[in-house]
Structure 1
C-alpha cells in the first residue's frame, strides 16, 4: 500500500483559498492574521492531520535541536547508561538523540559520522572504536562547525570537549587492593594500546606493582584481551604457565573478566582462594555471577548527564571559539567475592 501523502501548509492554503504565508503565520500564532482566519486555519490543519516539520523549522532558525551519539556497542551496560544519562538531560532541553553503533568498526564509525553530519545535528558525541586509528572523520566534524564531545575512549590529540574517567588512578587502587588481599602474581589483560584509556589502565597496574615492590613479569601481561572470548583465550594461556598467576586484572572490561571466570571454573581453579579476578565497568552481571566479580564503577549515567550538560553550558556561552575542556570523573573500586582472599573478621 502506498503511504499517505503528508499534509503541507500548501494543502491547507489551497483548501481555504488563502496564501501559504497566511497559513504559516497562523500556525505560528502570529498577530498578523486576524483571529477568525487563524481559528479556521487551525481547525482545517487539525482536520487534515497536519504535522509540523520541526526539523525544517529548527534548521531555518540555524539549529536542528538534535544530538548524534556514536558508541562502540549499545548492548553494553556502560554505553547504554551513558546514552540514558545524555537522554535524561537533553529531553529536558527539548532535544532529540540519533544513536549510532560502530560495532568496534572504523568503517561503520566513519559512516555514522558522515550520516550525522548530513542530518545537520548540532552536536556529535562519540566514544571511538578499538579499530579507529585514523581520525580525519572527527576533524571533519569540527570543519563543519559541529560541536564534538568525546567521552571515555577519546583521541588525545584532538582538541575538543572531553568527559573521561581517571583510569590510571582507578586501576592503581584496584590492583593495590588486590595486593592487600595477599595476591602475589597478578596478571594484566590489557586492551589495544592505540587507545589512551587502556594505556592509562596499564600504567595504573604498573604503578601499583612498583608501590608494593613487586616485579613486572612480562609473561603475565597479555595484549588485546578485551572481549569475553579473548579474555578466555588469555586465561587458558596464563593458567597453563609453570607458575600461573594467582590473580588476573581484566582492565579492559567485565566481559573479559567473565571469560576469565568461566575458564578458571572449567580448569578447577577455586575463586578467590586460588585465583582472584577483577574486571572493569560494573556491568550488571558482575553482581550475579558465582562468585560475584570485583569491578570498577565508572558512574556511566552521571557521565552521560555530564556530557549533555557540558554541551548546553557551551551553548549558553555564545562564544564562537570552543576552548578545549576535559572533565574527569573519579571511578570507584567495588570489591566483591572474586578477590576476597582474606576472611573478614
Structure 2
C-alpha cells in the first residue's frame, strides 16, 4: 500500500483559506492570532493528521533540539542507565535524543557518528567502543562548533568535555579489599588497555598489590576483547586449572565477575572461602547471583544528566558554562557483598 503524502502547512492554508504564515503562527499560539482562529487551525490540523516538519525547521535555523548519543551496547545496564539520565535531563529542557550504538565495532562507530552529524544534532554524547583508537570521526563536530561530551570511555587527546569516574582509586580500593580479606594471589580480568577506564583500573590493581607487598604476576592478568560472559568463563577455567590458581579475582565489569562466580561454582570451588570475587559497575545481576557479588558503584544516571547539562550549557550559552576541555570526575564507592567477604578472616 502506497504511503500517504504528509499534510503540510500549505495544505492547511488552502483548506482554510488562510495564508501559510497565519497557519504557522496559529500552530505556535502566537499572540497576533485570535483564540478563535487558533482553535480552527488546530482542529483542522488534527483532523488531517498534520505533523510539524522538525527537520525542515532545523535546516532553516541551522540547529535542532536533538542531542546525538553514540554508545557501545544499549543492552548493558550501565549504558541503559546512562541513556536514561541523558534523556531525563534533555526532556526537562524540551530537547530530544537520537541514539546509536556501535556494538564496540570501530567501523560502526564511524558510520554512526556521520549519521548523527548529518542529522544536524546540536551536540553529541559519546562513549568509545572497544576497537576505537582513532577519533578523527569526531572532528567533524568540533569543526562546526557542535559540542562533544565523551563519557566513561574517553580519549586522551581530544579537546572536548569529558565525564568520568575515578577508575584508578576505585580499582585500588577493590583490590585492597580483597587483600584485607586475606587474598594473596589476585587475578585481574582487564579490558582493552588503549581505553582509559581499563588502563586506569589495571593500574589501580597493580599499585594496590605493590603497596601491600604482593608480587605482580603477569600470568594472573588476562586482557579481554569485550569483557563478555564467555570470556569470563574461559578465563576462570584457564586460571583454576594452573598449578598455582588465584585466591581472588578483581574483574573490570560485573559481566565477567558473575561469569567467574558461575564457573567457579560449576567447578566445585567455594566462594569466597577459596576464591573471593569482586566486580565493577553494580549491575542488577550483581545482587541476584549467589553468592551476591561485591562490586564498585558506577553513577551512570548522574553521569548521563551531567553530560546533557554540558551540551545545553554550551548550546544555550548559559552563564558559567565550563571551558570546552573541562573534565568532570564523579565519586564511586565499594559495595561489599558475600562474594568477597571471608567470615574467618
Q: d(CA) in 2 for partners of 1:234 and 1:92?
A: 45
Q: What secondary structure, in the 3-state scheme, does the structure 2 residue paired with 1:342 have?
A: coil
Q: Residue 336 of structure 2 corresponds to which residue in structure 1?
A: 335
Cα 1:178/1:70, change in 2 over 3 Å: same
Counterpart mapping for 1:152-163 below 5 A: 152-163=152-163
Q: Residue 238 of structure 1 corresponds to which residue in structure 2?
A: 239
Q: d(CA) in 2 for partners of 1:201 and 1:266?
A: 28
Number of matched residues?
343
Cα 1:342/1:137, change in 2 over 3 Å: same
Q: d(CA) in 1 for partners of 2:251 and 2:113?
A: 31
Deviation at 1:143, TM superposition (A): 1.9
Equivalent pair of 1:124/1:148 in contact (CA under 8 Å): yes
Q: Residue 202 of structure 2 corresponds to which residue in structure 1?
A: 202
Deviation at 1:73, TM superposition (A): 0.7
TM-score in terms of structure 1 length: 0.93
Q: Residue 310 of structure 2 corresponds to which residue in structure 1?
A: 310
The gaps in structure 2 that reach 5 residues or longer are none
Deviations 1:148-199 (A, max 9, x none): 1000000111110000010000000011011001111111111111111111
Deviations 1:29-55 (A, max 9, x none): 445556765554444334323222234
Q: Residue 12 of structure 2 corresponds to which residue in structure 1?
A: 12
Q: Residue 3 of structure 2 corresponds to which residue in structure 1?
A: 3
Q: Residue 294 of structure 2 corresponds to which residue in structure 1?
A: 294
Q: d(CA) in 2 for partners of 1:306 and 1:8?
A: 38
Q: d(CA) in 2 for partners of 1:312 and 1:164?
A: 18
Deviation at 1:111, TM superposition (A): 1.1
TM-score in terms of structure 2 length: 0.93
Deviation at 1:331, TM superposition (A): 1.3
Deviation at 1:85, TM superposition (A): 0.7
Deviation at 1:59, TM superposition (A): 4.2
Counterpart mapping for 1:85-234 below 5 A: 85-224=85-224, 226-234=227-235
Equivalent pair of 1:182/1:342 in contact (CA under 8 Å): no
Q: What secondary structure, in the 3-state scheme, does the structure 2 residue paired with 1:68 have?
A: strand
Cα 1:244/1:116, change in 2 over 3 Å: same
Q: Residue 258 of structure 1 corresponds to which residue in structure 2?
A: 258
Q: d(CA) in 2 for partners of 1:240 and 1:106?
A: 34
Between stretches 6-15 and 199-208, larger displacement belongs to 6-15
Cα 1:265/1:61, change in 2 over 3 Å: same
Q: What secondary structure, in the 3-state scheme, does the structure 2 residue paired with 1:205 have?
A: helix
Q: d(CA) in 2 for partners of 1:191 and 1:47?
A: 55
In angstroms, what is the RMSD of aligned CA positions?
A: 2.1
Deviation at 1:28, TM superposition (A): 3.3
Deviation at 1:58, TM superposition (A): 4.3
Deviation at 1:324, TM superposition (A): 0.7
Q: d(CA) in 1 for partners of 2:83 and 2:35?
A: 44
Deviations 1:246-288 (A, max 9, x none): 011112x111112211221122111100001111111111111
The gaps in structure 1 that reach 5 residues or longer are none
Equivalent pair of 1:254/1:295 in contact (CA under 8 Å): yes
Deviation at 1:300, TM superposition (A): 1.0
Q: d(CA) in 1 for partners of 2:336 and 2:318?
A: 45
Deviation at 1:340, TM superposition (A): 0.7
Q: d(CA) in 2 for partners of 1:262 and 1:62?
A: 53
Deviation at 1:210, TM superposition (A): 1.4
Equivalent pair of 1:123/1:147 in contact (CA under 8 Å): yes
